[in-house]
Structures are given as structure tokens and as C-alpha cells.
Amino acid sequence: MEESFDLIVIGAGSGGMAAAKRAAAHGARVAVLEGDRVGGTCVIRGCVPKKLLAYGAACGHQLADAASYGWTPVGEAAPFRCDTSLLLARVRAEVDRLNQIHIGALDKAGVKLIGGWGRFEDSHHVCVLDSSGGSQRLRGERILIAVGGRPQRPEIPGAELGWISDDLFELPSFPASVVVVGAGYIACEFAGILRGLGVAVTQLVRGDHLLRGFDREASLVVQEGMTAEGIDIRFGQSPVALEGEPGELRLRTADGSVFASCGVLLATGRRPFLEGLNLEAAGVQQEGGRIPVDADQRTNVPHIHAVGDVTDRVNLTPVAVDEGRALADSLYGNRHRQVDHNLVASAVFTQPELACVGLGEEEAVERHGRDGVRVHRARFRSIAQALPQRGGRLLLKLVSEAQSGRLLGVHMVGEQSAEIIQMAAIALGMGATKADFDRTMALHPSVAEEFVTMPD
């Protein structure tokens, strides 16, 4: 028997859940289809568990600095060592707790959660296949695709021997050594986490710098910090084959080098997860492996929409959430709203941490010309490192329009960068100028005060 809904959401990640709950609040009859755990990449195998591991790694730094503040072992207490099996188990337990919370939130909102993978039969009908092989047919007046993305392995022999980022959260413990392949935020974050937890890390980068797409100077400061922490970064290395067996792997690169380790993390990019959707049956067009949408999240089929990483625009959790809510408000709340993708703050939870909003120096120069841009920066060792005398110098950077002084970008590398940039994003969105920052009284002693005391 066919069941009908005003809105069927395929995928219970951040964007899908946000759209479903908001649409239900507006009175729509909504179903969410999910073949995995509820919460999506962010909650289950991304932002949340990764940040918990980053906190665990940061504890090691705090313990290492403790003696400089007068903290010493009492009696015969041994130095601390991280039991990564215990840490991973506790992270997984927290993920399980959050999964249940999100299931409860959907139920409380009046959204029907249906376990199984959705597959289009036509533009209004979806077949849901569950883990036992059963299926049911649903009809949706409107359908939202919110299935997110998945990590991709490089096309080299033996790639199946390596881990993708999803796999790291399911390991019983971390091994003694890991080779990380990649230069993006996932590669750099995990390199820092693993090193902070005592793992020997070699990072292989195909190009000549880390974190492509971020301000180049900021990425170089991150690189300095990672190197200082003992991460062996090798540039100009293109993997060609992975050999061996679990626990004893050898990664060969194009220049003939061989890197041996206990494990290899292949952090070489993500792609929209379109497999199995049968988009052709619904007439939904694809473009370069993604689903293109207009400013109202519509695909080429007017009653089928898509949000989040499956559209491959700005692949961040808060963006997917806002897209989902804007869609629900527009369709069912009598409040047309579109998401502005032009000013989105982002952070990389490396060690040291990087956060930014707006244009990097290179992008600003490309748009406004070298003479049309002014750069203001401060580099210093924070007071938190005055006694330990460990860690590199922080970077705080303002990029402004030369003639008007309007800020084009704010960048920071160092402690609490994400927390500080979140507030700077408000100022940037309101059109703040360098003079506005200069007029703001500093809060001393703090790292953030340097943003309002930079000389012209």
C-alpha cells in the first residue's frame, strides 16, 4: 500500500533533518529516509567525533606544558600516556548518544523516520530498501535529496588496503605509525590528531603547499606548526601503489620513494553520494558528479530539491542546515528565503587551528588588484606559551579594500581561532572597516585584542 507525504527527504544528515523538522513545524507531512545512523557525516563520522579526538590530542599538549606552570607528579606517578582504545570507545559512545537524540528530535517534531535506502522510481515515487531486503513504495508531492558526500580512494593499485576518514573512528586503537595522503583539511586535521596522540605521522602532498583554497600565508603558518609538532610533511609526492598487508604497508610514489607504516589514511577528497539514487528515473540532471540547483535549491525537476554536500557548493554543516531551513520556510512557511553563500566562515581544526571569513590575500588581489588591497598582520607568541616557551607564533591578518578600508577578509592561525573568527564574521557581514576595528577598545590580555590594535 502506497503512503503519501507532502515532503520526502532522502538522507538524515544535517541538511535533511533541518529541512524535515522545519517543514513539519509548518504543518507539512514529512518522511525522512535513512539507511545508516541518523545524524549524517557531521555527527556520525565527521565534525563531532573528529573534534572530540582533537580535544584528546590537545590534552597531551596541556600535560606537556604542565611542568612549566609548577605541576609535577606526586609520589611515583608515571608520565601520562593516551590509551587510544579508550578514547575511541568513548568517542563512539558519544556518537551513539547523539544518534539517539536526533532520532528523538525527529519523532518529537512529528517527522516519520523510515529506515532504508531511497531509490527513485519516477519523479514523485521513491522505493525504500531496508537491510532485510524488504521494500516499500512512497509518494512525495515534493522530494528533497540530502544524501551528502563520501570519501574517495585514489585510483591506484592496492587502494583498498588504506583507510578513508570514516574508518579511523572504527579502529580499536591507533597504530604506532601512519602515512597520511592529502593536503586538504581532513588530511591536515587527522595528521595533527594522530601526532598529538603519539602516532608517528608522515604526510604526503602532491603539490607544493597545504590547504589549497585558504589564504597562502595562513596555510604556511599551519605548516610551520605541524612541522614543529613532529609531522614529517613531504611535498611533490604522488602515490602510485599501496602494497603489503594490514599493519605492514608500503606506499610507493611516482619518484620511486617507498613509505612504510602501520596504516595509510587516504584523505584525497570527497564526492557527492549519488550511487543507488536512480536519478535518471526521476529526470534529475547531474553535472560533474553533483546535483546542480538554483538559488531556491531546485533541481531541473521543479518539485525535486537538493541541499548540502550533494550539490558540492559550500560543503559545510551550517550551510546545509541553513539551506534546509530556508527551503522549508519557502515551501511551507510562506516566507521565501535564499541562502547567501558569499560570506561563510570556516575553520580547520589543525594544530595550530586556522579560521577565516571572507577573501584571502591572493583572492582579494585577483579581484581588486594589488594596489586595491591592503594587508594588516600581527605575528606573536601568545601569553599562553610565555612560560612553556613551546609552539610557534600566531598569525592574525586583516585584508581590506585600500580606498574604503572595508574589510574583505579576516584570518587567524592559533589558539581559539574558530571562536574568535565567528564574531569577526558578524562584523564582516555588516560591512565593517579597518577604522571600525581600530575604534574598538582592546580586551587585554587576550589574543583577539591584536585584531583591534594592528597598525595601518
pLDDT band at 391 (very low <50, low <70, confident <90, very high): confident
Same domain, 303 and 394: no
If asked whether residues 295 and 255 sit together in one domain, one would say no
Query: Per-residue pLDDT averaged across 293-297, rounded?
Result: 98
Whether residue 98 sits in one domain with residue 20: yes
The answer to whether residue 344 is domain-embedded is no
pTM for the model: 0.95
Same domain flag for 176 and 214: yes
Phi/psi of residue 37, nearest 5 degrees: -75, 155
| Position 308 in a domain | yes
Q: Are residues 90 and 134 in the same domain?
A: yes
How far, in Å, CA of 136 to CA of 114, rounded?
A: 10
Q: Per-residue confidence at 2, pLDDT binned at 50, 70, 90?
A: confident
* Residue 210 predicted with pLDDT over 70: yes
Burial class of 338 by CB neighbour count within 10 A (0 to 12, 13 to 18, 19+)? middle
**To the nearest whole number, what is the mean pLDDT of the chain?**
96
pLDDT in tens, 240-283: 999 999 999 999 999 999 999 999 999 999 999 999 999 999 99
**At 456, is the pLDDT very low, low, confident or very high (cuts 50, 70, 90)?**
confident
Helices of type H across 109-241: 165-168, 185-196, 216-228
Q: Is 276 found in the same domain as 135?
A: yes
Q: What is the DSSP letter of 352?
A: S
* pLDDT of 78: 63
Residue 300 lies in a domain: yes
The yes-or-no verdict on residue 85 having pLDDT over 90 is yes
177 in the same domain as 132:
no
- Same-domain check for residues 25 and 174: no
Query: Rounded distance, CA 66 to CA 387, Å?
Result: 10
pLDDT value at 286 more than 70: yes
**pLDDT over 70 (residue 376):** yes
Mean pLDDT of 281-291: 97
Which grid cell sits at 437?
576595528
115 and 227 in a single domain? The answer is: no
284, 303, 332 — which closes off a domain? 332
State yes or no: pLDDT of 79 exceeds 80: no
Examine the domain organization and report whether 362 and 447 are in the same domain: yes
For residue 109, give its domain range: 3-150+272-332
Determine, yes or no, domain membership for 338: no
Q: Among 268, 297, 312, where does a domain finish? A: 268
| Domain presence at residue 341 | no
| Domain CATH number, residue 175 | 3.50.50.60
**Residues 122, 18: one domain?**
yes
pLDDT score for 335: 96
pLDDT at 1 over 80: no
Q: Which of 238, 268, 298 is the last residue of a domain?
A: 268
Give the residue numbers marked as catalytic: 444
Examine the domain organization and report whether 121 and 141 are in the same domain. yes
Please give the pLDDT value at position 76: 64
Q: Are 39 and 12 in contact (CB under 8 A)?
A: yes
Q: Which three cell numbers stand for residue 289?
A: 558528479
Q: Percent of the chain beyond pLDDT 90?
A: 92
The beta strands (E) that lie in 94-174 are given as 112-115, 117-120, 125-129, 135-145, 149-151
80 pLDDT higher than 90: no
Rounded Cα–Cα distance for residues 168 and 161 (Å) = 13
Residue 380, domain CATH = 3.30.390.30
Distance CA 210, CA 400 (A): 24
Quote the pLDDT of residue 132.
79
129 within domain boundaries: yes
Please report whether residue 337 resides in a domain.
no
Ranges 72-76, 164-168, 367-371: which has the least confidence: 72-76
Overall number of domains in the chain: 3
d(CA 297, CA 306): 6
Residue 388 located in a structural domain: yes
Q: Copy the grid coordinates of residue 231.
A: 609531522
User: Looking at residues 162-169, what average pLDDT do you find?
Assistant: 97
C-alpha to C-alpha distance for 264 and 180, rounded to whole angstroms: 6
Q: What is the pLDDT of residues 300-352, one digit of tens each?
A: 999 999 999 999 999 999 999 999 999 999 999 999 999 999 999 999 999 99
